[in-house]
Structure 1
Amino acid sequence: MNGAVRAVVRSAINKGCDAFAIYEGYEGLVQGGTMIKQMFWEDVRGWLSEGGTLIGTARCAAFRERWGRLKAAKNLIINGIDALIVCGGDGSLTGADLFRHEWPDLLKELVDTAELTADQVKGYEHLTIVGLVGSIDNDMASTDSTIGAYSSLSRICQSVDFIDATAFSHSRAFVIEVMGRHCGWLALMAGIATGADFVFIPEQPPDAEKWGDEMCAIVDAHRKKGKRKTIVIVAEGAIDNQLNPISADDVKNLLVDKLGLDTRITTLGHVQRGGAAVAVDRLISTMQGVDAVDAVLSSTPSTPSPMIGINENKISRKPLVESVALTKEVATAIKNKDFDRAMSLRDAEFAEYLEAFKFTTIVDDETRKVPVNKRLKIAIVNIGAPAGGMNAATRAAACYCLARGHTPYAIHNGFTGLARHDSVRELHWLDVENWIIRGGSEIGTNRNLPDVDIGMVAYYFQKYAFDGLMIVGGFEAFLSLYMLEQARVNYPAFRIPIVCLPATISNNVPGTEYSLGSDTCLNALVDYCDAIKQSASATRRRVFVVEVQGGKSGYIATCAGLMVGALAVYTPEEGVNLRLLETDIEHLRNSYAEDQGQNRAGKLILRNEKASKIFTTNLIADIIREEAQDRFDARTANPGHVQQGGIPSPMDRLRATRLAVKCMQFIEQHQDDGRETRGSDQKSATVIGISGAKIVFTPAKFLYDHETEVENRRPRGVFWTEIQKVSEMLSGRPRQH
């Protein structure tokens, strides 16, 4: 929420508007006075790293009454406010839209009762309302993610990861209760991201008579396969299909009584709401806050109030009233036992994740297996530098294969391991069961391409009779895919469906706007930069120049710059020159002069490692120090390979699971083509990616020929241009012409 307030304030000021903060929600709107405060540029410095909401929030009974809304209208006009950007849940947004519809009548009453004069209300005939959804439950229809949802999910996953170690050590079962009265998003996503055995969500409740047996059967099957721990996640609104509540105690008692498991309950409670926002929430809240201001300025009296949302990677505007109505319809559908309707009102991603969870959790279910003659041998290989989510993708692919009756194989240590050591190993369920929370690459990865010995690679493909291949990795993985596709003319063993799942912190693979590992990297950078800014703030007069990875792609530097509020970002796409440095140093001087040492938020400049051969991180810091003339200091910081390591973020775990399942389904769907046909079929050698608002498969040859700067190892188009513009605008950085 603080990121959204910061974005709205600075974007409004940038566009020549006056920005106000209304403290304590609608309560502040009703009370007025000091609860409504004009905000200036420096007032919101450092807000991105603060948890909660610094302007407060509160439930307000008065605003639910007409007299309360009448007072609120008067306070808005007195302060010269003609537009409201409301960040809250469906109740807050419903109240805001009602306020807008009543506005003309409220103004008339204020004039009729002499509370205000006709001259005072002149120019305020219309109230513009724009909604931002702040909800950890992610329960708003028409948007993939609400502000705060991923931060909450991160707290849950971190807690369950800690509990996981205890559960394994003592061979215990844990029942985890998470928030979500009418929405099971947190429970489902946490279940996938932590490798839980079973989840209970209100949208798809289990059979009242059978759920205990079904849960115990799955848990027992996992235990018989050698699993030492059991995790069951229960949404607080969990019910069975007869609307009877399912509590954590109910689940615990069954696990104890039927399976004899030593079982504990953990209710996470308001821990889920705490802490600083994770990287993706900082991005979402900022981009949505900026778009909200644009929506205000483009609004007309006849424009329906918009709700700012996000679909896949794109900021979107939806009619607020319709979105709220659809959201409330979920609860109605559940109450009416129309669970199919409740599921349909969630986005398609939700249903896909639920299906992916079942495929990666339920074992030895013959009804899910394909006929024996359609069972495949599918290989998985990791290529390139380690990236968060690689292991989660391998696990999901292997579990899907086993659920369908296919045989998954891991090629260890890349194509080098295959060509030199015949490093092919069959994967079993227990092998991969706990990989989802592990960073790095359990099967090993390197940058070597298949041309290390392509003939030997083809020999082993033929020896094991692979029917499909999933390559997980970065730009080298993409090049490997292209090489194998090109080698089909000489090596029939490569005439199998091959799909590349991008996984690289650089996010530089063509054909996608998202690569596994990039979110984990950004979280690591956010944590690192928050700590660095704290150090800088203590001295009041210090700027840190932080060197970030990313190769010749400026994606990570650009996004991290926005997420930590950097004053400037240097990328390979734009480069660095003396004129740019001179402008940025002047910007630094002005920034320090304006806050006069009073603001404790430290200042950062981010430099991509390949931004310039001449202007290194140390040289830039030296130039700043020299030009500062003792008015401020400059230091360098380099997080290095910390950016590649660590526990994968929930988003990387989730998308790894979803995309890996899609990859396996792609391989299944392309089995009917004969090998001869596939020799010239470019569509069966493809990159899976997220583009715009959907998942796409793009042939490797098309990407290589039309959308790739091979020499710079990046896509031709820079799809994060808008992020770069917003980052510079919110930092106040002057644009170079």
Structure 2
Amino acid sequence: MRIAVLTSGGDSAGMNAVVRAVVKGAILKGCDAFVVREGYEGLVLGNADEAYVPHAELDTTAPAEVRDPSFIQNLRFGDGELLRDGTGDYPGGRSLKGRYIVRVGWDDVRGWFAEGGTLIGTARSAAFRTPEGRLTAAYNLIKEGIDAICVCGGDGSLTGADVFRAEWPKLIKTLRAEGVITDEQLNRFGHLKIVGLVGSIDNDMCMTDLTIGAPTALQRICEAIDNINSTAISHSRAFVLEVMGRHCGWLALLAGVSGGADFVFIPESPPKGESWEDEMCAVIHRHREVGKRKTIVIVAEGAHDRQLNPIHSDAVRKVLAERLGLDTRVTTLGHTQRGGRPCAYDRIMPTLQGLDAVDALLEATPDKPSYMIGVRENKITRVPLMEAVAMTQEVTNAIKAKDFDKAMALRDPEFQESLEGFFITSMLPDKPVLPPAQRIRVAIMHMGAPAGGMNAATRTAVRYCLREGHTPLAIHNGFRGLLDDNLHELSWLGVDGWMSRGGSELGTNRTLPDVDLGAVASKFQQHNIQALIMIGGFEAFSALLILENGRKYYPAFHVPMVHLPATISNNVPMTEFSLGSDTSLNALVDACDAIKQSASASRNRVFVVETQGGKCGYIATMGALAVGASIVYTPENGIDLATLQDDVKWLKTRYSLDSKGKSEGRVILRNEASSSVYSTEVIMKMLKEEGGSLFDARSASLGHTLQGGIPSPLDRARAVRLSLKCMSFIEKQWNELQAMPAKARHAKSDSAAVITIQGSAVKWVPVQEMVEHADMKNRRGVHAWWEGTKVLVESLVARPQLI
């Protein structure tokens, strides 16, 4: 099969990761890979020269021990310089001028996933919208022998792909009738295989949680909000931020949640009152009344009131200035939201989606629909492309019909939860919601090592408590702080700036409650703790298990207790994501991008980079996928002499295949606990010795830089969502407990539970049930969803093919 990939519509970070994955995935499956420059316009323009250059014209010299010479041909095709200069020449003397459908090899997409935008270009094609244009595109594909296309773009681009596929039988019959293709070609290309991936910063496609580029765009917006916050506080100003989102308010909403905004305007859910001015002013006046010095209002570019009258940022500024007397500024972020390097998520998920797209094309048959490759929570999904497009267009139609309830219902459940979370965490009611009899004293504690999102989760729980009438108690410095009576009530304004703060504002350590379980129970009674939220890693899980077992001896522990996983190691059993792991991956990506740049500048240098993670290889493995590491060492797999020998052999082979003067700097990631003998320094010295004239070696340790920094928007948004679910769980368990007779009031075992993300669902797992899924000795789960990723990392650098 010959597979082509094109990008269409607005550019988004992560598109290059898709192209890279499709090209490499196709070659790994034994297919020929092509890129189409300038989107659908490139399909119509085709190639000025019809001559196809076979592999035989390329230099395929390789060491004798390499066992797959055909793969080396694809590896050497292009030598990694394709499209770096759109006006330059194709390696081997073939000019790119007038060529829009270009065959590519392995090294042509070297390092692409670290680049923003789309390196193969995108353009709006008026010609492709016409039957004549699509007929020309069909001819160009047949001429190049291409029978499968992967399209990365928005709903318009994917609709165009499906129309093209539906018209294909008619188009090729027309071409045969005109005599421009043969009967053989008519039979061979009777079915066009198409798969779609959604590249859109707006996250406006239904039936997928996140579109490619949306997480990076959200990160750009949150960086702007974090920067604006300091000047807003300094001058007690109001800022109105306009963000993209013509038909979808995801960016505005999630930026509001993650950035701690005061008010947001989104197309799907306009202010409910007749006057948006009154509603906004009432909320912001209340915030100012309690002492808040800054005001942030976020406006999606497609925002409107309930009568569909546009709400512009300038109008919002005018209302804030004239009615509330606030010194107000407007900031329009514009196309800065599209640009910049992709975040870790927009490298990992597009890579997995691109590889799955190749599989979907290989499995395609005429009776199957064209699929859209999406993602639900952490699971790559395939859904019929036109079903997703139709539902997306239905949202737009519902908004036009002023049926905003339907528009919200058509969005994914997380969108609705995020909106509810925003209201809960940003709006302070005049009086608590619950009557005094239903109010709870909720203690909040951080445990283990600090992780991004801990403070965001705490802020959410505190604000929910104060809204409902519960009392939020901060326990400082973990169980040691509890034993020292280091507790105090948290206030609504006191946690205002916590969304963007890394580390742990409450302080954290690894002390477990069995240091003095009786004294801990006594402190529960003394401070009348009626519920406990522990935010942390494996220590919090272990502490919850100890407290639940302690219920047999201490009645004080018969209260709802929850663990919200937060650790960069992501080693809590049965959950696929812990707060802080996304922030840590972003920190690793930033560091390794800089290291790789240095290594590439030296051309033939290998960096052995040590990461944190304890005895869990999540950060090293997923980080390797995100930065294109050549080798990854984890505690789960360990390191032995045979492995090191194979790795040296692979590096020697790979560097020998690089074009002279064009070697790539390469990175090896090593988890800190991979081996007690083969340390980072030992591996580096060994590579330096064995590399000889082919490559040099250096080492770097990222250390605690992976724990620090500003939390990523995904960790902040996830913290809000999971924290609210924790509070809902506590209230449910508390009400069940209160319904029991006072003398027989015993908490059920499932009232001590861990909130987990499993596949596409959020599930509560009783702590006792989690024990059988935990490797207590190595402090990690028995099974990990990412276990097969190491094999994928090695495949994407051609290790199996070159050893």
Aligned position for 2:640: 577
Aligned residue number for residue 483 of structure 1: 546
Look up the match of 2:165.
Answer: 100
Give 1:373's match in structure 2, choosing from 423, 437, 459: 437
What is the deviation of 1:312? 0.5
- Contact 1:129–1:296, Cα closer than 8 Å, also in 2: yes
Q: State the match for 1:3 in structure 2.
A: 17
Does the alignment pair 1:606 with 2:620? no
Residues 74-113 of structure 1: CA deviation (Å, up to 9, x unaligned): 1111111000000000000000000001111110111111
User: What stretches of structure 1 of length at least 5 have no aligned partner?
Assistant: none
CA pair 677-341 structure 1, distance change in 2 beyond 3 A? farther
Residue 516 of structure 1 is matched in structure 2 by 579
User: Does the CA contact (< 8 Å) of 1:413 and 1:445 recur in 2?
Assistant: yes
- 1:12 equivalent in structure 2: 26
Distance in 2 of aligned mates of 1:728 and 1:222:
53
SS in 2 for 1:131: strand
Partner of 2:285: 220
Does the aligned pair in 2 maintain the 1:541–1:597 contact within 8 Å?
Answer: no
Determine if contact 1:685/1:700 at 8 Å carries over to the other structure.
yes
> What's the counterpart of residue 717 of structure 1?
783
Residue of structure 2 equivalent to 1:173: 238
In the alignment, which residue of structure 1 is the partner of 2:135?
70
Per-residue CA shift, 1:209-256, capped at 9, x if unaligned? 232111111111111111110000000000111111111011111111
Which whole-Å deviations, capped at 9, do the CAs of 1:535-564 have from their partners, x for residues lacking one?
000111101010011111011111000000
1:425 aligns with 2:439: no
1:551 to 614, 622, 627: 614
Where do residues 670-681 of structure 1 align in structure 2 (5 Å cutoff)? 670-674=733-737, 679=746, 681=748
TM-score under structure 2 normalisation?
Answer: 0.90
Distance 1:451 1:679 in 2: 21
CA–CA separation in structure 2 for the residues paired with 1:13 and 1:462: 65
The 1:523–1:475 alpha-carbon spacing in structure 2 relative to 1, beyond 3 Å, is same
How many positions carry a matched residue from both structures?
734
1:196-595 paired onto structure 2 within 5 Å:
196-207=261-272, 209-366=274-431, 369-419=433-483, 421-595=484-658
Alpha-carbon contact 1:208-1:242 (below 8 Å) kept:
no
Partner of 2:5: none
Quote how far apart the aligned CAs of 1:154 are.
0.3
- Which residue of the partner structure matches residue 690 of structure 1? 757
> Which moved further from structure 2: 677-686 or 481-490?
677-686
**Counterpart among 25, 30, 40 of residue 26 in structure 1:** 40
Measure, in 1, the Cα distance between the counterparts of 2:387 and 2:764: 32
Partner Cα separation in structure 2 for residue 676 and residue 607 of structure 1: 55
| 1:721, distance to aligned residue in structure 2 (A) | 2.3
Letter in 1 for 2:453: G
Q: What is the CA distance between 1:587 and its match in structure 2?
A: 1.6
**TM-score (norm: length of structure 1):** 0.98
Q: Within 2, Cα distance between the matches of 1:527 and 1:598?
A: 26
Given residue 585 of structure 1, which amino acid in structure 2 is its aligned partner? V
Distance in 2 of aligned mates of 1:43 and 1:448: 52
Task: Report whether the alignment pairs 1:669 with 2:732.
Answer: yes
Structure-2 change in CA distance of 1:734 and 1:678 (3 Å): farther
The answer to whether the Cα contact below 8 Å between 2:273 and 2:279 also exists between their aligned partners in 1 is no
Secondary structure class of the residue paired with 2:796: helix
1:649 corresponds to 2:663 = no
The code of the aligned residue for 2:535 comes to: V
2: distance between equivalents of 1:603 and 1:736?
Answer: 16
1:707 maps to what in 2? Answer: 773
Classify the secondary structure of the residue corresponding to 2:493: helix
Query: What secondary structure, in the 3-state scheme, does the structure 1 residue paired with 2:736 have?
Result: coil
Q: What code does the residue aligned with 1:214 have?
A: E
Amino acid at match of 2:717: L
Say what the alpha-carbon RMSD is for the aligned residues.
Answer: 1.3
* Equivalent position amino acid for 1:83 in 2: A
Offset of residue 592 of structure 1:
1.4
Deviation at 1:639, TM superposition (A): 1.0
Paired residues of 1:478 and 1:500 also in contact (CA < 8 A):
yes
Asked whether the equivalents of residues 656 and 694 of structure 2 are also in contact (C-alpha less than 8 Å), the reply is: no
CA separation in 2, counterparts of 1:510 and 1:337? 45
1:601 Cα offset (Å): 4.2
Task: Give 3-state SS (helix, strand or coil) of 1:100's partner.
Answer: helix
Deviation of the 1:452 alpha carbon: 2.0
CA contact (8 A) 1:678 1:684 kept: no
Q: Distance in 2 between matches of 1:713 and 1:596?
A: 45
Q: Secondary structure at the match of 1:663?
A: helix
In the alignment, residue 608 of structure 1 is paired with which amino acid?
A: N
Q: Counterpart of 2:748 in structure 1: which amino acid?
A: D
Kept in 2, the 8 Å contact 1:77–1:121? The answer is: no
Deviations 1:111-167 (A, max 9, x none): 111122222333111000000000000000000000000000000000111011110
Cα offsets for 1:589-635 (capped at 9, x unmatched): 22212222454642111011111111111111111111112211011
The match for 1:126 among 191, 204, 210 is 191
2:60 aligns to what? none
Which residue pairs with 2:81 in the alignment?
none
**Farther off after superposition, 397-406 or 600-609:** 600-609
In structure 2, the residue corresponding to 1:727 is in which secondary structure? helix
Percent identity reads 59
1:370 shift after superposition: 1.4
How far 1:308 moved relative to its partner? Answer: 0.2
Letter in 2 for 1:520: T
Task: Give, as a single letter, the amino acid of the residue that structure 1 aligns with 2:261.
Answer: A
Counterpart in 2 of 1:729? 795
- Structure 2: state its 5+ residue gaps: 1-14, 48-98
* 2:280 partner amino acid: M
**1:735 Cα shift?**
8.4
Distance in 2, Cα, partners of 1:542 & 1:40: 23
SS at match of 1:670: helix
Q: 1:84 aligns with which of 149, 155, 165?
A: 149
Worse overlay, 580-589 or 336-345: 580-589
Q: State the alpha-carbon separation in 2 of the partners of residues 250 and 598 from structure 1.
A: 57
Distance (whole Å) between structure 2 residues aligned to residue 676 and residue 535 of structure 1: 69
Listed one character per residue, the Cα deviations across residues 513-547 of structure 1 (whole Å, up to 9, x for unaligned) are 10000000000000000000000001111010100
Say whether the 8 Å CA contact 2:258–2:499 is kept in structure 1.
yes
Change (3 A) 1:711 1:93: same
Aligned-partner Cα distance in 2 for 1:299–1:699: 42
The 2-side partners of 1:184 and 1:36 are apart by: 36
Secondary structure of 1:431's aligned partner: coil
The answer as to whether partners of 1:208 and 1:240 remain within 8 angstroms in 2 is no
Structure 1 CA distance for aligned equivalents of residues 680 and 398 of structure 2: 57
For residue 318 of structure 1, give the secondary structure of its aligned residue in structure 2: strand
**AA of the residue aligned to 1:410:** A
* Distance across 1 between alignment mates of 2:404 and 2:694: 64
- Aligned-partner SS, 2:220: helix
Distance 2:107 2:802 in 1: 23
2:178 to 85, 90, 113: 113
Residues 60-80 of structure 1, C-alpha deviations (whole Å, 9 max, x = no match): 000000111111101111111
SS in 1 for 2:246: coil
- Indicate how the Cα distance of structure 1 residues 243 and 251 shifts in structure 2: closer, same or farther if over 3 A, else same: same
CA gap 1:310/1:599 in 2 versus in 1, 3 angstroms = farther
1:596 aligns with 2:610: no
Deviates more, 1:577-586 or 1:10-19: 577-586
After alignment, is 488-497 or 596-605 more displaced? 596-605
Partners of 2:20 and 2:117 lie apart in 1 by 13
